[in-house]
């Protein structure tokens, strides 16, 4: 398989979770309001972010996450993105070779790098750190149900038996879920707390999509987002073992600013992580950028409601296209930037689901890449069934259409004419130097193309 460069501008990238629907709003706001002072040219308040940002984040979380116990600035460690925060926290909680439970399909960043030490044995490494991800299969069990905890329990026992000398230290969840785009019910979150308490392990909840929630006509009954902080944790678990991750990349449409946080009431963990923050010292201008957005309550309110509105429109747009082409997908999602869709009809050798079909997934992924489109293939998420792909809907609409058109031609033999004349979109495969992010399109708050396309 050819080496995959996900950053390449020569593909239509519908794999990466960036929100181009709001980037221009953020860029304009920062261009008008961000003024560097000499403080941003100093080492500032130290390696884990400014006091000002920690205070602002505590206020933001207290206002928007409805915590039962108020979050304080000294319970926050800031780093260069949630990827880095995961690294820090697993370093803080695990010894070399310990395990962290993650449920399938799992956000690909929770597992990174893959090695095959022996035939039939795959080891998944949690982001560059000392811990191993211990992936959990659910089969036909709904991953958002209480029953799913039995699967975690099975893996916990197995992992501890299989690996003498090390043990499962934590369970790591993304709520809202990536790639499924759904939220865990409140009562299920309570069961997660009890489960972790019962097994003496930590619960790490990645809430990076907390404000990336939307309503559409098709998801009226979807489970609403509840932060773990909005539950009275002390009633169900040791609060020293419950930690939240959050960041700027998704809810603030600013992947490039690279800011992530850990929120924990555990002073020992905060102290331990503080010893390595020198490796993920946030940049002061980025720190200031988040500060000014959080301090401007009027902007914040407008921004979040607009962000949610545009995500809802983006979701409906892509869901409508998939419906039109008869492509199945996970219904009723209400969070995130993507839809988890079933392309198994295009597998060369469909499998019955008993076999993860990794090779088949890779082959289909390669075909789609060759036609100039990059989707996030299920194998990177440890999907339990072959043929599932994550498609980002928060890309500019003409780009999304162009990507879908290329795929439908490839996979269904359908010709779709897309008129790009009125847009600044260029087909990246025509070798015209292309801005891979098409930032020029992002100034339009309104959809540039509507769903008027002909098949
Ligand atoms: C669930 C989840 N956590 C963490 C990250 C990484 O965030 P950051 O850009 O802050 O490293 C992502 C990015 O896709 C994500 O989906």
Query: If we measure between CA atoms, which residue out of 15, 26, 11, 17 comes closest to residue 445?
Result: 26
Task: Kindly state if the Cβ of 249 falls inside 6 Å of ligand 1.
Answer: yes
Compute the distance between CA of residue 219 and CA of residue 393 in angstroms, rounded to an integer: 16
Task: Kindly state if the Cβ of 208 falls inside 6 Å of ligand 1.
Answer: yes
Task: Kindly state if the Cβ of 109 falls inside 6 Å of ligand 1.
Answer: yes
Instruction: Report whether pLDDT(420) > 90.
Output: no
CB atoms within 10 A of CB 236: 18
Distance 262 CA to ligand 1 centre (A): 13
Sheet with 168-174, side-by-side order of all strands? 76-79, 260-264, 242-247, 202-206, 168-174, 99-103, 132-136
Distance 66 CA to ligand 1 centre (A): 22
User: Stretch 31-42: mean pLDDT, rounded?
Assistant: 97
Task: Kindly state if the Cβ of 205 falls inside 6 Å of ligand 1.
Answer: no
Read off the pLDDT band of 10 (50, 70, 90): low
For 370, the token pair is 């060759």
Q: For residue 336, which atom of ligand 1 is closest to its CA?
A: 16
**Please, what is the average pLDDT of the chain?**
88
Distance 221 CA to ligand 1 centre (A): 26
Task: Kindly state if the Cβ of 335 falls inside 6 Å of ligand 1.
Answer: no
Q: Ligand 1 test: best mutation among 250, 256, 286, most atoms within 8 Å of CB?
A: 250
Distance 444 CA to ligand 1 centre (A): 26
CA 207 to centroid of chain Cα atoms: 9
Task: Kindly state if the Cβ of 112 falls inside 6 Å of ligand 1.
Answer: no
Task: Kindly state if the Cβ of 255 falls inside 6 Å of ligand 1.
Answer: yes
Compute the distance between CA of residue 255 and CA of residue 246 in angstroms, rounded to an integer: 12
Q: Locate all alpha helices (DSSP H) within 296-414, ordered by sequence.
A: 297-324, 358-370, 397-412
Compute the distance between CA of residue 72 and CA of residue 54 in angstroms, rounded to an integer: 8
CB atoms within 10 A of CB 369: 18
Distance 107 CA to ligand 1 centre (A): 8
Give percent of the chain with pLDDT exceeding 70. Answer: 84
pLDDT tens string 248-285: 999 999 999 999 999 999 999 999 999 999 999 999 99
What domains, with CATH codes, occur in the chain?
12-25+301-443 (3.90.1150.10), 43-296 (3.40.640.10)
Query: If we measure between CA atoms, which residue out of 163, 164, 186, 240 comes closest to residue 66?
Result: 186
Task: Kindly state if the Cβ of 17 falls inside 6 Å of ligand 1.
Answer: yes
pLDDT tens string 330-376: 999 999 999 999 999 999 876 655 555 678 888 999 999 999 999 99
Read off the pLDDT band of 415 (50, 70, 90): confident
Task: Kindly state if the Cβ of 206 falls inside 6 Å of ligand 1.
Answer: yes
Instruction: Report whether pLDDT(451) > 50.
Output: no
Q: For residue 247, which atom of ligand 1 is closest to its CA?
A: 10
Read off the pLDDT band of 430 (50, 70, 90): low
Q: Ligand 1 test: best mutation among 79, 103, 109, 380, most atoms within 8 Å of CB?
A: 109
Read off the pLDDT band of 6 (50, 70, 90): very low
> 225: which DSSP letter?
P
Helix (H, G, I), strand (E, B) or coil at 198: helix
Tell me how many degrees the CA angle 3-8-9 measures, rounded to the nearest 5: 155
CA 193 to centroid of chain Cα atoms: 22
Q: Which residue has the tokens 């699967």?
A: 151
pLDDT of residue 281: 97
Read off the pLDDT band of 2 (50, 70, 90): very low
Query: If we measure between CA atoms, which residue out of 389, 390, 381 comes closest to residue 347?
Result: 389
**392 near 15, Cβ under 8 Å?**
yes
Compute the distance between CA of residue 388 and CA of residue 83 in angstroms, rounded to an integer: 24
Tell me how many degrees the CA angle 256-259-265 measures, rounded to the nearest 5: 160
Task: Kindly state if the Cβ of 254 falls inside 6 Å of ligand 1.
Answer: no
Task: Kindly state if the Cβ of 282 falls inside 6 Å of ligand 1.
Answer: no
Task: Kindly state if the Cβ of 168 falls inside 6 Å of ligand 1.
Answer: no
Distance 30 CA to ligand 1 centre (A): 22
pTM: 0.90
Phi, psi of 286 (to 5 degrees): -65, -45
User: β-strands 76-79, 388-392: how paired?
Assistant: unpaired
Q: Ligand 1 test: best mutation among 16, 78, 178, 394, most atoms within 8 Å of CB?
A: 178
Distance 393 CA to ligand 1 centre (A): 17
**E strand or H helix at 339:** strand 338-342
Task: Kindly state if the Cβ of 180 falls inside 6 Å of ligand 1.
Answer: no
| DSSP notation for 24-38 | HHHHHHHHHH----G
Compute the distance between CA of residue 247 and CA of residue 245 in angstroms, rounded to an integer: 7
CB atoms within 10 A of CB 280: 22
Least confident among 216-220, 320-324, 389-393, 438-442: 438-442
């Amino acid at each position: 398989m050819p080496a995959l460069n996900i950053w390449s501008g020569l593909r239509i990238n519908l794999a990466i979770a960036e929100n181009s629907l709001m980037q221009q709003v953020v860029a304009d706001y920062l261009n008008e309001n961000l003024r560097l002072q000499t403080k941003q040219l100093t080492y500032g308040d130290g390696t884990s972010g400014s006091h000002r940002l920690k205070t602002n984040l505590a206020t933001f979380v207290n206002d928007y996450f409805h915590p039962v116990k108020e979050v304080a600035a000294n319970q926050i460690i800031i780093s260069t993105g949630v990827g880095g925060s995961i690294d820090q926290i697993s370093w803080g909680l695990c010894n070399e070779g310990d395990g962290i439970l993650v449920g399938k399909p799992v956000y690909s960043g929770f597992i990174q790098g893959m090695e095959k030490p022996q035939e039939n044995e795959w080891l998944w490494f949690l982001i560059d750190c000392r811990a191993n991800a211990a992936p959990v299969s659910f089969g036909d069990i709904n991953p958002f149900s209480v029953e799913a905890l039995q699967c975690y329990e099975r893996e916990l026992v197995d992992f501890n038996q299989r690996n003498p000398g090390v043990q499962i230290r934590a369970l790591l969840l993304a709520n809202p879920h990536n790639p499924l785009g759904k939220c865990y019910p409140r009562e299920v979150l309570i069961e997660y707390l009890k489960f972790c308490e019962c097994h003496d392990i930590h619960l790490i909840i990645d809430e990076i999509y907390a404000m990336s929630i939307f309503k559409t006509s098709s998801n009226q009954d979807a489970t609403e987002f509840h932060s773990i902080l909005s539950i009275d944790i002390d009633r169900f678990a040791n609060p020293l073992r419950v930690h939240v991750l959050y960041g700027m990349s998704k809810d603030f449409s600013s992947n490039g600013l690279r800011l992530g946080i850990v929120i924990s009431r555990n002073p020992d963990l905060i102290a331990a992580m503080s010893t390595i923050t020198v490796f993920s010292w946030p940049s002061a201008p980025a720190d200031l950028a988040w500060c000014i957005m959080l301090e401007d309550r009027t902007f914040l309110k407008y921004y979040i409601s607009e962000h949610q509105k545009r995500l809802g429109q983006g979701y409906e747009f892509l869901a409508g296209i998939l419906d039109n082409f008869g492509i199945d997908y996970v219904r009723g999602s209400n969070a995130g930037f993507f839809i988890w869709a079933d392309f198994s009809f295009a597998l060369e050798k469909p499998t019955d689901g008993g076999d993860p079909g990794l090779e088949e997934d890779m082959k289909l992924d390669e075909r789609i890449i060759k036609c100039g489109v990059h989707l996030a293939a299920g194998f990177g998420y440890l999907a339990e069934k072959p043929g599932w792909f994550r498609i980002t809907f928060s890309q500019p609409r003409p780009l999304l259409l162009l990507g879908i058109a290329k795929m439908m031609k490839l996979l269904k033999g359908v010709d779709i004419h897309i008129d790009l004349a009125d847009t600044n979109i260029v087909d990246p495969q025509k070798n015209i130097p292309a801005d891979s992010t098409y930032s020029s399109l992002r100034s339009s708050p309104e959809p540039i193309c509507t769903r008027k396309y002909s098949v």
